[in-house]
């Protein structure tokens, strides 16, 4: 992750690092624009438009099996990786992630997230990803309870909580799914874990503050960024809203 200058917030934050627990220091919010909402004919240009403001690039990989949609795969990720210095946040909505996930780490992805519903041994795959040089993320879909996976979180760097049903962009945000974020944040704080809690689905100017207040600190935004007249400014606004709504130590 590239360093970023501290920012201030009208809500009174100092723009620096926050500690939720007194022991674990949580950095400023991450905004990860999803290229699922970008113009696929101009992916490199679309990503360059947000290079100076985005923290990560979110890459949705769908296989038409685990989810009904089909998007991009490893060759596109490899090509795009050479076009930007931004860290890649790869979200695998695929069957058999144990087979395919390490390839994305080898391709230079910063963070590789796979779905708990698609993997019978998430901890083993997390170890494989870390051995390959990537951060390991665990995704929880809309209809999956989070409680069975809380004890696995020390093995992960990111917990991605879907705030829609995985598989399609442009869906409406489901507010009651933030209960999972609150549960996860309480567990992370109680265990003093260094873990990003990421939300994905319907994140926009009217929803990001609620997600941040619930305890999320990484935000996937597709249409809200690439559907804006000025994508870079859209990222700035989303981050500002998240910073102002984040819980204070």
**Known active-site residue 210:** no
Helix residue ranges per DSSP H, 25-174: 43-48, 74-81, 97-106, 122-131
Domain containing residue 95: CATH number = 3.20.20.70
In a domain, 171, yes or no: yes
Quote the CA–CA distance of 99 and 200 in Å, as a whole number: 24
Domain boundaries, position 41: 18-245
Q: Active site residue: 63, 157, 200, 210, which one? A: 200
User: Is residue 8 in a domain?
Assistant: no
Q: Alpha carbon of 15 to those of 25, 169, 246: distances in Å? A: 13, 31, 11
Per-residue pLDDT of the chain (249 residues; tens, 9 = 90+): 444 443 444 333 333 443 333 344 445 899 999 999 999 999 999 999 999 999 999 999 999 999 999 999 999 999 999 999 999 999 999 999 999 999 999 999 999 999 999 999 999 999 999 999 999 999 999 999 999 999 999 999 999 999 999 887 778 999 999 999 999 999 999 998 999 999 999 999 999 999 999 999 999 999 999 999 999 999 999 999 999 999 876
Closest by CA to 184, choosing from 135, 243, 139, is: 139
Q: Is 200 a catalytic residue?
A: yes
Catalytic member of 60, 89, 141, 217:
60
Assigned domain for 180 exists: yes
Tell me, yes or no, whether 12 lies in a domain: no
Domains contained in the chain, number: 1
| 111 within some domain | yes
């Amino acid at each position: 992750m590239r360093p970023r200058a501290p920012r201030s917030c009208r809500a009174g934050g100092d723009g620096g690092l926050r500690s939720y627990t007194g022991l674990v220091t949580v950095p400023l919010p991450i905004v990860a624009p999803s290229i699922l909402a970008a113009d696929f004919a101009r992916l490199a240009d679309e990503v360059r438009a947000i290079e100076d403001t985005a923290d990560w690039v979110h890459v949705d990989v769908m296989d038409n099996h685990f989810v009904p949609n089909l998007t991009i795969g490893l060759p596109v990720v490899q090509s795009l990786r050479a076009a930007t210095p931004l860290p890649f946040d790869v979200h695998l909505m695929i069957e058999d992630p144990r087979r395919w996930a390490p390839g994305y780490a080898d391709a230079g992805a910063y963070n590789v997230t796979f779905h708990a519903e698609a993997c019978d041994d998430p901890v083993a795959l997390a170890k494989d990803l870390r051995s390959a040089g990537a951060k390991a993320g665990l995704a929880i879909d809309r209809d999956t309870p989070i409680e069975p996976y809380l004890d696995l979180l020390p093995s992960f760097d990111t917990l991605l909580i879907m705030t829609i049903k995985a598989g399609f962009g442009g869906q409406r945000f489901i507010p009651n799914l933030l209960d999972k974020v609150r549960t996860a944040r309480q567990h992370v704080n109680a265990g003093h874990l260094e873990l990003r809690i990421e939300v994905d689905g319907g994140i926009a100017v009217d929803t990001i503050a609620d997600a941040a207040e619930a305890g999320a600190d990484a935000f996937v935004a597709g249409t809200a960024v690439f559907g804006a007249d000025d994508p870079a400014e859209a990222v700035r606004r989303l981050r500002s809203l998240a910073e102002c709504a984040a819980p204070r130590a």
